[in-house]
Amino acid sequence: MKRRGFVMALAASVAALGFMGLDRSQANPLPAPAEKPILTITGKIGAKNKDDAAQFDRSMLEALGMVRIETTTPWFKGTVAFEGVPMDKLMQHVGASGERVVAVALNDYSSEIPLEDFKKHRVILALKRDGEYMPVRDKGPLFIIYPFDSDPDLKSQTYYGRSVWQVARLVVK
Amino acid sequence: MSRIKLLLVFISGCLVAATVSLAVLIAQRQETLREVSRYNTSWLASQAVAEFTRLEQRISAFGDPDSDVDQDEVELRFDILMNRIKLLGDGEFQDFVRRDPERGDIVERLVAAAAAAEPLIRDIEKPGVPAKLLALLTPLDRDLALMASAANRYGAERVSEDQHELLRLHLTFSALSGGLAIFGFALILVLGRQNQVLERAQADLRQQNARFDVTINNMPHGLAMFDAEARLIVSNRRLPLVLGLSEAAPLTGLTLEEMALQAEAEGRTGKAVLLRDLAAALAGASSESLLHTLPDGRTLSLSRSLMAEGGIVWIFEDVSARIEAQTKREQLEEQLLQSQKMEAVGQLTGGIAHDFNNLLTVILGNAEILVEEADPNTQELARMILEAAEQGADLTQKLLAFGRRQSLKTEHLKLGDSVSGMTPLLRRAIGEHIDLRTEFSGGSAYALTDRALLESAILNLVVNARDAMPQGGTLTIKTGERQAAKGEPNLAVGTSVVYLTVSDTGTGMSPEVIARAFEPFFTTKEVGKGSGLGLSMVYGFAEQSGGHVSIKSKVGQGTAITIVLPAAHAPRVEQDDIEDAKPAARGEERVLVVEDEPHVLQFVSTQLRRLGYRVTAASTGAEALMLLQQRSSFDILFSDVVLPRGLSGIEVARQARSIDPNLKVLLTSGYPEEVFQQHGRPDEHTQLLRKPFKSKDLAAALRETLDAQPRPASQPVLAS
């Protein structure tokens, strides 16, 4: 009973994966980055443009549509305006099918984020702070930002820990 | 009560203090927690060391043809290191740096090395540059590692400190929370207790209020409490009743003037007048209590007490009935005083009359003898003596009548008949200038009284009336029958009475004269014209007959004097007393005469001897009884009733009868009624002769007694 249920669920998810990946790659093939890539996504994704990875340069990310979050953070003084790509949209774009995303920083610091966070909390992958692109020297080029001011629950170590800066790679698991 | 209040204030204060402390503590803890989250001094140091090392690795690898490290990679690592160096400049890491100058030196050298390395990184493709870079960076390796380990220690210490601080805060927080809970619980207990006390006080107050209501509403007086602005704030149910208002609701909240205005608006003018009158009386009160007469004529007693807050309590009492009763009592007392005075005067006059009678008896008797036996010249003188003595006897009769010591010879009389019989006499007495009128009614009613005294009384009243009308006028004699009214002296309410009123149209009397009119010897007539005994006699006669006499008079309008007597049942048989003028009866029987007054004794003895009787004289009762025992051969005992030294005539008669049962007894007295009341009535065989007597009367009475049947059961009872 139990085994049969598990097998059936596995089969269903594999089938779903296959269809989704096929659908995505056929409908919206991911082009190769024209400039120096700043983000690499690997793991359970459908869309790829270099080996098993999906690489993005700055303009590719910006093309996905930028949103803005104004919030206070533990890292900067006062209210700061971030602009970036909704993580949820980015995950759909690459056909992510996992449950978690591991965000890896340039210094190889990593933090695991449940995939559901992105839609639930409208998390963005910020490129700009106060209208300027963030350089590596100032926690750039990418920063995972939660809208901390919109929900008191977000102002905790759990979410501060998931807010990885100097993001270089995302691994969908 | 106040202790509970203090406790409440204390507990509330503690609660507030605890709450504030908790708020402060929470803020502190949050701050501490925030700091803990940022205590990443060691992380910053290690990041700097790690990125420094990675940069060195990339630079070393750059020259190696097997590696895939390009310029971009080296520049990225340099940027990352720059980022970390920048982070070291943060305030948090600076706290750590400032603790040891060597650390600051290391950071400065790192910054300087990075600054020197930056242009070289851009030219890394050029030969020899990587080696230059490494030469620049490598000397810092050891110092950075030392700083990282120091930072690690420092971070651990700070965390430990913060943990202690957190623990301390936590303990304080717990203690305060516990205290808060305890104080909250205590507050609830105290409030509950307070509530209980309040409830009890409220119940007490309600009860007291109810008692107060019952008390003021059941008091017999009206009560009104005014506040300092003269508004009626409390009143009781009696108040409107006492004031004579038909109010069911208590009158409260308004001043009397406002109430009067309201009453006027309602068209109740009577009430408005009353309230204004009352307001004026209360406002004008100069003492603590006063009497006030209301517009309706009733008298109220008002008394006030001032209240501490400036109000006044007024008590209203209707004292009309009490004042009336007091007036009545004063009248009654006056009446009693008057009758006591008359009583005393009566006693006095009675006593005088008694002694006077004895003298007159002697004078009369001896004058009679002189008239019969003396020579013609002397006879004339003796007759004058006799007449004067008879007038004197009349006078004493009047005195005795006033003193109610007259022995009444009662018979059934109709007042109208008596007046009719006297009319010719009365007409002669009043003269031609006065018109005499008579009105008789109630013709069937009788009075049981003494004819002679009644006629004498009528004559006295008529003569007085005549004297009150020297210029002429109308004199009316009215008789009739009616029921006794309430308060008539000597008469029960509703009993039948007969009355006789003699009224004139003469000068009338002032109230002062009326008050003394019945006193003996009081007269308004000229000296020598009146004895002052006329009305006294009428008074005494009416009183003795069980009735009374009253005067109505007004100066200038006339006087009406009314004799009221109890009505009597009709007599069974009318007896006609025919007085026959027989000569003095004589006899030879043995007579024992007892008389204390020597002159009378001598006179009586002489008279009896002259009539043929054999007389033995005794001056006391004891002597008489001794004589009786020695001889016991007397036919009759003739004794005065009043005797000195204990034994009265009545007692002597009784003892004598026990010695000799066949002995006849004749008693004599001037005022026997009094004596009879004192010593008892003589038995039915005993005859009584009234003093003063003439020898003819004495002879007749003695003969009659001697001739009466011995021990006759059918002998008529003597009516004395």
Q: What is the pLDDT of residues B36-85, one digit of tens each?
A: 655 678 888 888 888 898 888 888 888 777 778 888 888 888 888 888 88
Q: Residue range B284-300: average pLDDT?
A: 83
B428 or A18, which is more confident: B428
Instruction: Please judge whether A137 and B82 are an interchain contact, meaning their C-beta atoms are less than 8 angstroms apart.
Output: yes
CA B13/CA B23 separation, integer angstroms: 15
Please compute the mean of the pLDDT values over residues B560-567 and round it to a whole number.
Answer: 92
Q: Are B120 and B114 in contact (CB under 8 A)?
A: no
Cα A52 to chain center, whole Å? 17
DSSP secondary structure code for residue B474 in this structure: E
Mutation site, A57, A77, A106, interface B, largest B CB count within 10 A: A106
**pLDDT in the model for residue B404:** 59
Q: Is the pLDDT of residue B16 over 70?
A: yes
Find the distance separating the first CA and the last CA of chain A, reported in whole Å.
27
Q: So what's the pLDDT on residue A2?
A: 44
- B111 to chain A, closest Cα gap in Å: 14
**What does the mean pLDDT of chain B come to?**
82
Give the angle subtended at the CA of B409 by the CAs of B425 and B550, to the nearest 5°. 65
| A78 in reach of chain B (CB within 8 A) | no
Q: B80 to chain A, minimum CA–CA distance in Å? A: 6
Q: How confident is the model at residue B15 (pLDDT cuts 50, 70, 90)?
A: confident
Instruction: Read off the pLDDT of each residue in A4-26 and give the average, rounded to a whole number.
Output: 46
Task: For residue B360, give every residue at least 6 positions away whose Cβ sits within 8 Å of its Cβ, in sequence order, or none.
Answer: B389, B392, B393, B396, B692
Output the pLDDT for position B248.
61
Flag whether pLDDT at B165 surpasses 70.
yes
Cα gap B720→B716, rounded to integer Å: 12
In the structure encoding, which two tokens stand for residue B394, read together? 């009349």
Give the C-alpha distances (Å, rounded to integers) separating B255 from B233, B259, B262, B295, B296: 9, 6, 11, 20, 22
Tally of CB atoms within 10 A around B638: 27
**Cβ pair A106:B86 closer than 8 A:** no
SS3 B626: helix
pLDDT score at B495: 86
pLDDT at B561 over 90: yes
Q: Looking at the complex, does the CB of residue B373 fall below 8 Å from at least one CB of chain A? A: no
Identify the DSSP state of A143: E
Q: What tens digit of pLDDT does each residue of A106-135 get? A: 888 888 999 998 888 999 999 999 999 998
Mutate to test the interface with A, among B58, B79, B92 (most CBs of A within 10 A): B79
Rounded mean pLDDT of B6-32? 82
A137 touches chain B (CB under 8 A): yes
Q: List the single best residue of B83, B85, B90 to mutate versus A (max A Cβ within 10 A).
A: B83
Lowest-pLDDT range, A45-49, B117-121, B373-377, B453-457? B373-377
Closest CA to B638 of B706, B572, B588, B580: B706
Q: A41, A94, A35: which is closest to A64 by C-alpha? A: A94
Q: Which residues of chain A make contact with B72, given a CB cutoff of 8 A?
A: 36
Q: Are B395 and B531 in contact (CB under 8 A)?
A: yes
pLDDT of residue A40: 92
Q: Is the pLDDT confidence value at B707 over 70?
A: yes
Section B469-480 average pLDDT:
90
For B10-56, what is the HEC assignment? HHHHHHHHHHHHHHHHHHHHHHHHHHHHHCCHHHHHHHHHHHHHHHH
Q: Does A77 touch chain B (CB under 8 A)?
A: no
**Of B102-111, B152-161, B204-213, which range is least confident?**
B152-161
Q: What is the rounded average pLDDT of the residues B560-583? A: 66
B111 touches chain A (CB under 8 A): no
Quick check: B354 pLDDT over 80?
no
Nearest by CB to B79, which of A74, A137, A160? A137
